[in-house]
Amino acid sequence: MGRREVPLNREGILQAKRVARMLSQLKLDAIYSSPLKRALQTARLLAGKNSIPIRVDPDLTEVAFGRWEGFRLEELIRNKVYQRFINAPLTAKVPGGETIRDVQRRALAATRRAASEFPRGNLLFVSHGDVIRAIICHCLRLRLQEFRRLKIDNGSLTALEVDGRWAEIKFMNYLPDITPANHEPFAGLKPARTKNRFKGSKV
């Protein structure tokens, strides 16, 4: 979908309502949202009838996929530029779009602005999978090159406690139902994997 203004469907609304129930015990100071319609719908469902302010920040928006927006993954998989983007996301720019490093820079700018407004606040960010992955990589000092190793599902909840330069992940990709986290939507679209060096049972 990219930055196309696609609203939540019935499943998306149900996912947002499930997250709202998970958040019901938290005292949020503010919600910061991507400006895209589906994100704003989610933010409003999460705010519910509470008087939680919703701030819209363009830097939380989805990756700019440029000329690839509207294409299905199956249509792009044989595209050499797309393959280069999959294997070198830090330097390979989407035609008419941005790199994942560009995404990380703007996403962090948004979180810093929010933190300056609420220095000790409980803040909720409603954004998109790659944007969330890029933020987590920075906070946990993980190589951005490996951002796709972090699973972020639609309707999931991730919590970070940040104090200055220290960040601790409380939980990631939390879902009321474990089934979606086991779903493999991008089979064949990931960088080539090296041989597994670990033997034994799977957990």
Domain boundaries, the chain: 10-182
pTM equals: 0.83
Model confidence at 131: pLDDT above 70: yes
CATH number of 10-182: 3.40.50.1240
Give the separation between CA 32 and CA 123, rounded to whole angstroms.
7
Residue 90 structure tokens: 């830090």
- At position 14, the amino acid (one-letter code) is L
Q: Which residue has the higher pLDDT, 182 or 96?
A: 96
Which among 21, 107, 13, 23 has a CA at the least distance from the CA of 59? Answer: 107
Give the separation between CA 176 and CA 70, rounded to whole angstroms.
30
Q: What is the pLDDT of residue 74?
A: 85
Q: Give me the mean pLDDT over the 125-149 stretch.
A: 95
Q: What is the pLDDT of residue 75?
A: 87
Q: Residue 69 — very low, low, confident or very high, per pLDDT cuts 50/70/90? A: confident
Give the separation between CA 101 and CA 111, rounded to whole angstroms.
15
